[in-house]
Structures are given as structure tokens and as C-alpha cells.
């Protein structure tokens, strides 16, 4: 074996070769090859040297999740092996186009030395170097350090065996367990036994034992975890626990949103799971907005995804009975509900998104920061937010111009904050539900609705991009409502357009989209469904406000 270290590469210029070796690549055929490891790539070239560019494979270390060295019983040969695990994006040849991540293992046999221990040592040196470099790729983005999970990471992985079509455990065994093992991410598997099991578990857990809590289920299980963390006396610290999401349910909206934010083309079901598994192995952290929700009784709830009333909430809950078809249950439910389209009566008001809040975003966005600088804690920002509220510089950002004619400012009242003395961040924009709205709120004049949908992430389901402009921590609730009078066919067109997020530009006269910081809904009909992150909550008056970047999420 020819072995050189830290030598400049005459061919690639800016990317010097740091390790060079000649190994046997183990694939369908065994071929001798020259292997170069640079800061960014693993370059494998067949020997004897083929003309430049031929028989050369360049593997980006950004796609690498792990690498290990090992020995095999090799008939008395002193060989050692090196296995590197990559998940490159591969173009799909189907008519839908796009690309998805696919696992590729690259194995090499090292036999240069007579001593098996020396070969293994050499393979271990390579494995370490590949792991370090692929780790550096994830830390350094555009010259800035990005926050990542600590190493080694102790991860609690909660799996709901009942979610989706009841296949979450099988999906875990087939895809996630091998992937995490290859990436060297130790984790403790916890299988939930009932509803609220995960919520109770994280409420009582000694969180100092865990570097991350990851759920494999639908959005409902993450809703439990977030609420469990925010019910703790030490909620300020608890909600800093990095959270991860692996789609195993029928409603995998956050997984679809995280995938969408990476800029990759749309994927579904197991391809989405592989993408999210890959991002989990990479372990980059971002901030995520949460929304606190006050109902007329009971403690506050915390939401990471959506609030729905009317058509969308009905479809979500009524489609439970089609759970066996997986994510397609929402399509079936939409068609059924369209056939018996209803009108929902109520009052809707909101506090428009403010300029103040968008400048604060400069501080919080992306968790991108110079190495080791401490970003302001969510608690200190929240304290500042409450001092500054209510925001007076309103930016009325409505898609539908008629909307501005049909809203009026609320009456002025002295501010008195709601929900004091409970865990979770203080309410800074909300008055108690029984009090009139502050003067800077906008009251929607219509009282007959088909749906109200408040989103803080891009996707409502794997194939529904309800808020195409939303980002993880924009500090904004993306409020959409559809007023009565829309035809069935127009509503169906809106949902079809939503697959690509095109509904907002569809010029539908009944659809209004606006960006807000807080909202209040007072339904008039005696019975109905309101959902928070797809879970049914008490029906009646409710209000909500956004808490920018309150949680931390493992993303790409």
C-alpha cells in the first residue's frame, strides 16, 4: 500500500489530498484502485490509471453519514476492511422527475501489510479521517459554524407502533436502525404504549441524560413531546432539548417541511423517511417557532405546526377511519367532505405581523453563528419581546386586496396579559379571552367561513404545501381563510394547487392569506372541530400567539 499524508494534490488545486492509499474496492467485481481523501471528497480511481475522468468516482463527504474499519475471517489473510456509508441524491427516472437520497456503501480491502493488526490500524485511521471530514462538512456552511448535536450523542428515540398504517416499527427496523448504526449514533428505543405516554415520559425524564429526543410517528407524537417539555417547571431549559422527527405516521407534515427547507425536490413515504434519517445523522440544529394556544378552559397548549377550524379540521378528524391507506387518507377525506360542503360561522381577528418582529429575525434566524458565540437565549428574547409588545408597526400583508376593505381595527383597551404563573413563555400579545381585543388587532368582517388554517411550517401534509412562504423560525403565523360562497370545484382546485403551494397565487376571491403574530377565533355554531397540530382540542373560543424560535430542531 502506498501511503502519503497531507500532500497537495497536483490535479485538484484548492482541495489538497490529505490521505492516499491503494486498496481493493469490493463491489460486484473486485478492482484495485487509488483512493484520495481530500477535505471535501473521497476520490476513487481504478488502477492502472485510466484516462482522466474515466473510471473515477468522486464521493462528496457531505453525503457521508459514517465510516468504520473492521476485520473479517479472511482465510488466514491479514486483510482489514473499510466501509463508508453515503446517501447521495439520485435522479429519479420516472416521469415525475426529481431526486431522492439512496444508500450506497463503499467497501475497501486493505492488504498492504503482513500484520493483520497493522492493516486494521491503517483502516481505522482512514475511517477516523473520513468521519472527521464528513463532520467538518456539516459544521462549516458558507464559512460559518452551524450548531450541531453534541458527540457522542445520547438519543431517545420514541416510536409509536400504532401510527400511520401501524408500520412505524417495521420502518424503524428496516431503515432507521441500520442507518443510525452505520452513522455511529447510539440511541435508546422507546416504544410508546398509549396516547400521552410520550408526554408523561418527557415531563418526568432526567433530561441531562439525553442530547436529543427524536420521535418516529406522525405529528401527533411530537405534539405530545413538545407539550410534555413545556409542562415542566424547568421548561426554559427543557425546551432547548434538540428534537428530531422521523416520518412514521399518516400525517408527517413536519417531516415534509424539514425536507422542503433543504431545497430538495418533493419526496413521499419511505423516500421522505430516508431523507429525514439522513438529516438526523448529520445532526444540524435550527430554531423552530412554537405557538401557544389558549382555549376557554384548561391550561395553555403548545403547537409547532397548525391550527385548523372548518373544512381542514373536519377532514383531518373524519379521515381517521381511512387510516389504513396511510397519507392518502387526507385525499379521501377531502373528497368526502367536499361532497357535503358546510359553512362555519364565527368571528376571526388577528394581530398582523410586525416590522419589529421581522428585524428580530435577523438575530434568531437559522442558528447560524460564528464558532462558539452564544446566541441570546429564547427566554431573554421572550422577556424583551414582552417588554416591547404589543407591536405597533403593523405590516398588513394580505394576498387578497378585498380583505383590507373587510377588516376593521378593534377597540382600544389597556393591555393586561393572559396566562400568568404557568410553565411556558409568558403571553405577550394576548389579553384574557373574555376581554375585548387590543386596538392594533384586525377584525375580519365576514362571519361565514369554509375554513380557517393557521400554519407555522410549510406543509400541512406530505403532499400539501399550505404555507409555501413559511420557514422554521420566521416568527410568523401564516393565516389562511376561505369565506363562504366558494364553489365545490373552486375549493377542489385550491387543494389541488396546494400540492405545489400554488393556491396562494390562484386569484380565488374567497381565499385570504395574511401573516400574523396572534389570532383569536370565536366560533358561533354550538358544535364543531378545532385541531391543534392535527389533534382535536376543546371546541369554543380560542386564541394563539407565536413564540419565535422557542424550540430546537434537528434539520438539514
Catalytic positions, written as ranges: 219
- Degrees to nearest 5, angle at CA 436 with 384 and 438: 35
474 near Mg ion, judged by CB under 5 A: yes
Q: Cβ closer to ligand ADP: 167 or 386?
A: 167
Q: Compute the least distance from the CB of residue 161 to ligand ADP, in Å.
A: 6
- How many chain residues interact with Mg ion (CB under 5 A)? 4
Nearest residue by C-beta to ligand ADP?
Answer: 218
> In the 8-state DSSP scheme, what is residue 476?
-
Near Mg ion by CB under 5 A: residue from 65, 130, 444, 470: 470
Near ligand ADP by CB under 6 A: residue from 21, 164, 310, 426: 164
Q: Which partner, Mg ion, ligand ADP, none, binds residue 462 by CB below 5 to 8 Å per kind?
A: none
Q: Which triple of cell numbers denotes residue 480?
A: 389562511
Query: Footprint of ligand ADP on residues 182-211 (CB under 6 A)?
Result: 192-195, 197
Q: Which triple of cell numbers denotes residue 71?
A: 476485520
User: Which residues have a Cβ under 8 Å from the Cβ of 156 and sit 6 or more positions away?
Assistant: 187, 188, 190, 205, 210, 212, 213, 214
Specify the DSSP element, H or E, that contains 93: none
CA distance 38 to 375: 32
- Residues 468 and 501: beta-carbon distance below 8 Å: yes
220 near ligand ADP, judged by CB under 6 A: yes
Q: Cβ closer to ligand ADP: 196 or 524?
A: 196
Q: Compute the least distance from the CB of residue 77 to ligand ADP, in Å.
A: 49
CA distance 99 to 114: 44
Q: Cβ closer to Mg ion: 326 or 475?
A: 475
> In the 8-state DSSP scheme, what is residue 106?
E
CB neighbour class for 254 (10 Å; exposed up to 12, middle 13-18, buried from 19): buried
> In the 8-state DSSP scheme, what is residue 490?
H
219 near ligand ADP, judged by CB under 6 A: yes
Near ligand ADP by CB under 6 A: residue from 218, 352, 425, 475: 218
Query: How many other CB atoms are found less than 10 A from the CB of residue 229?
Result: 26
Q: Which partner, ligand ADP, Mg ion, none, binds residue 456 by CB below 5 to 8 Å per kind?
A: Mg ion
Near ligand ADP by CB under 6 A: residue from 122, 224, 316, 473: 224
- Residues 275 and 265: beta-carbon distance below 8 Å: no
> In the 8-state DSSP scheme, what is residue 148?
B
Cross-strand pairs, 553: 243, 286
Give the binding range for ligand ADP (CB under 6 A) out of 244-252, 296-304, 428-436, 469-477: 244-252
Instruction: Kindly give the interhelix angle for 253-261 and 219-230, rounded to the nearest 10 degrees.
Output: 90
249 near ligand ADP, judged by CB under 6 A: yes
303 near ligand ADP, judged by CB under 6 A: no
Q: Which partner, Mg ion, ligand ADP, none, binds residue 194 by CB below 5 to 8 Å per kind?
A: ligand ADP
161 near ligand ADP, judged by CB under 6 A: yes
304 near Mg ion, judged by CB under 5 A: no
Q: Which partner, Mg ion, ligand ADP, none, binds residue 251 by CB below 5 to 8 Å per kind?
A: ligand ADP
Give the binding range for Mg ion (CB under 5 A) out of 42-50, 288-296, 352-360, 518-526: 288-296
319 near ligand ADP, judged by CB under 6 A: no
Give the binding range for Mg ion (CB under 5 A) out of 155-163, 164-172, 401-409, 464-472: 464-472
Q: Compute the least distance from the CB of residue 503 to Mg ion, in Å.
A: 18
- Residues 249 and 534: beta-carbon distance below 8 Å: no
Cross-strand pairs, 148: 284
Q: Which partner, Mg ion, ligand ADP, none, binds residue 389 by CB below 5 to 8 Å per kind?
A: none
Chain center to CA of 253: 8
- Residues 479 and 504: beta-carbon distance below 8 Å: no
97-115 burial, b if ≥16 CB within 10 A, otherwise e? Answer: eeebbebeebebbbbbbee
Query: Alpha-carbon dihedral of residues 306, 309, 311, 314, nearest 10 degrees?
Result: 90
Length of the chain in terms of residues written: 556
Q: Cβ closer to Mg ion: 431 or 454?
A: 454
Query: Alpha-carbon dihedral of residues 163, 169, 172, 173, nearest 10 degrees?
Result: -160
Q: Compute the least distance from the CB of residue 474 to Mg ion, in Å.
A: 4
Give the binding range for Mg ion (CB under 5 A) out of 58-66, 87-95, 354-362, 466-474: 466-474
316 near ligand ADP, judged by CB under 6 A: no
456 near Mg ion, judged by CB under 5 A: yes
Chain center to CA of 418: 30
Q: Compute the least distance from the CB of residue 164 to ligand ADP, in Å.
A: 4
403 near ligand ADP, judged by CB under 6 A: no
- In the three-class reduction of DSSP (H, G, I as helix; E, B as strand; rest coil), residue 211 is classed as coil
Q: Which partner, Mg ion, ligand ADP, none, binds residue 530 by CB below 5 to 8 Å per kind?
A: none
Give the binding range for ligand ADP (CB under 6 A) out of 161-169, 201-209, 293-301, 484-492: 161-169
CA distance 48 to 31: 10
Between strands 344-352 and 511-523, the pairing is: antiparallel
Q: Which partner, Mg ion, ligand ADP, none, binds residue 474 by CB below 5 to 8 Å per kind?
A: Mg ion
Query: Footprint of ligand ADP on residues 498-537 (CB under 6 A)?
Result: 535
Residues in contact with Mg ion by CB under 5 A are 289, 456, 470, 474
Interacting residue ranges for ligand ADP, rule: CB under 6 A: 160-164, 192-195, 197, 217-221, 224, 249-251, 535
Amino acid at each position: 500500500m502506498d501511503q502519503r499524508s497531507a500532500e497537495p494534490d497536483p490535479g485538484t488545486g484548492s482541495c489538497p489530498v490529505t490521505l492516499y492509499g491503494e486498496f481493493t474496492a469490493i463491489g460486484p467485481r473486485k478492482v484495485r484502485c487509488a483512493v484520495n481523501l481530500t477535505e471535501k471528497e473521497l476520490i476513487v480511481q481504478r488502477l492502472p490509471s485510466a484516462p482522466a475522468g474515466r473510471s473515477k468516482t468522486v464521493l462528496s463527504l457531505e453525503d457521508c453519514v459514517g465510516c468504520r474499519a473492521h476485520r473479517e475471517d479472511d482465510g488466514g489473510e491479514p486483510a482489514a476492511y473499510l466501509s463508508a456509508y453515503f446517501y447521495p441524491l439520485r435522479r429519479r427516472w420516472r416521469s415525475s422527475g426529481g431526486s431522492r437520497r439512496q444508500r450506497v456503501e463503499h467497501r475497501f480491502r486493505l492488504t498492504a501489510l503482513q500484520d493483520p493488526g497493522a492493516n486494521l490500524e491503517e483502516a481505522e485511521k482512514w475511517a477516523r479521517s473520513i468521519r472527521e471530514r464528513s463532520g467538518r462538512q456539516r459544521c462549516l456552511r458558507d464559512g460559518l459554524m452551524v450548531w450541531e448535536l453534541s458527540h457522542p450523542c445520547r438519543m431517545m428515540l420514541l416510536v409509536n407502533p400504532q401510527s400511520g398504517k401501524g408500520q412505524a416499527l417495521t420502518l424503524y427496523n428496516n431503515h432507521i436502525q441500520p442507518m443510525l448504526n452505520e452513522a455511529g449514533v447510539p440511541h435508546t428505543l422507546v416504544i410508546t404504549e398509549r396516547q400521552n405516554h410520550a408526554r408523561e415520559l418527557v415531563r418526568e425524564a432526567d433530561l441531562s441524560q439525553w442530547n436529543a429526543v427524536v420521535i418516529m410517528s406522525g405529528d401527533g407524537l411530537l405534539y405530545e413531546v413538545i407539550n410534555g417539555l413545556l409542562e415542566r417547571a424547568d421548561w426554559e431549559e427543557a425546551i432547548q432539548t434538540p428534537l428530531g422527527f422521523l416520518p412514521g405516521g399518516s400525517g408527517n407534515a413536519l417531516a415534509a417541511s424539514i425536507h422542503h427547507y433543504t431545497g430538495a425536490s418533493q419526496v413521499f413515504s419511505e423516500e421522505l423517511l430516508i431523507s429525514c434519517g439522513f438529516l438526523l445523522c448529520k445532526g444540524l440544529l435550527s430554531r423552530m417557532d412554537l405557538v401557544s394556544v389558549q382555549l376557554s378552559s384548561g391550561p395553555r397548549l403548545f403547537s409547532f405546526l397548525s391550527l385548523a377550524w372548518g373544512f381542514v379540521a373536519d377532514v383531518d378528524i373524519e379521515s381517521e377511519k381511512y387510516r389504513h391507506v396511510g397519507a392518502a387518507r387526507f385525499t379521501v377525506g377531502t373528497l368526502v367532505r367536499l361532497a357535503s360542503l358546510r359553512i362555519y360561522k364565527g368571528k376571526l381577528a388577528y394581530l398582523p405581523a410586525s416590522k419589529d418582529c421581522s428585524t428580530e429575525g435577523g438575530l434568531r434566524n437559522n442558528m447560524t453563528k460564528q464558532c462558539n458565540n452564544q446566541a441570546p437565549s429564547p427566554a431573554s428574547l421572550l422577556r424583551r419581546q414582552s417588554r416591547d409588545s404589543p407591536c405597533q408597526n403593523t405590516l398588513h400583508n394580505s394576498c387578497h386586496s378585498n380583505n383590507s376593505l373587510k377588516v376593521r381595527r378593534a377597540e382600544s383597551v389597556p393591555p393586561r396579559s393572559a396566562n400568568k404563573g404557568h410553565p411556558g413563555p409568558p403571553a405577550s400579545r394576548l389579553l384574557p379571552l373574555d376581554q375585548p381585543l387590543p386596538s392594533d388587532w384586525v377584525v375580519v368582517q365576514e362571519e361565514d367561513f369554509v375554513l380557517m388554517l393557521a400554519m407555522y411550517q410549510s406543509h400541512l401534509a406530505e403532499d400539501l404545501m399550505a404555507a409555501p412562504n413559511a420557514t422554521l423560525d420566521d416568527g410568523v403565523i401564516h393565516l389562511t381563510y376561505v369565506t363562504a360562497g366558494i364553489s365545490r370545484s373552486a375549493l377542489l382546485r385550491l387543494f389541488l394547487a396546494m400540492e405545489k403551494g400554488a393556491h396562494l397565487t390562484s386569484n380565488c376571491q374567497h381565499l385570504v392569506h395574511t401573516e400574523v403574530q396572534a389570532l383569536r377565533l370565536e366560533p358561533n355554531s354550538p358544535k364543531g372541530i378545532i385541531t391543534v397540530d392535527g389533534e382535536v382540542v376543546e371546541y369554543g373560543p380560542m386564541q394563539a400567539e407565536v413564540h419565535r424560535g422557542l424550540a430546537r430542531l434537528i434539520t438539514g
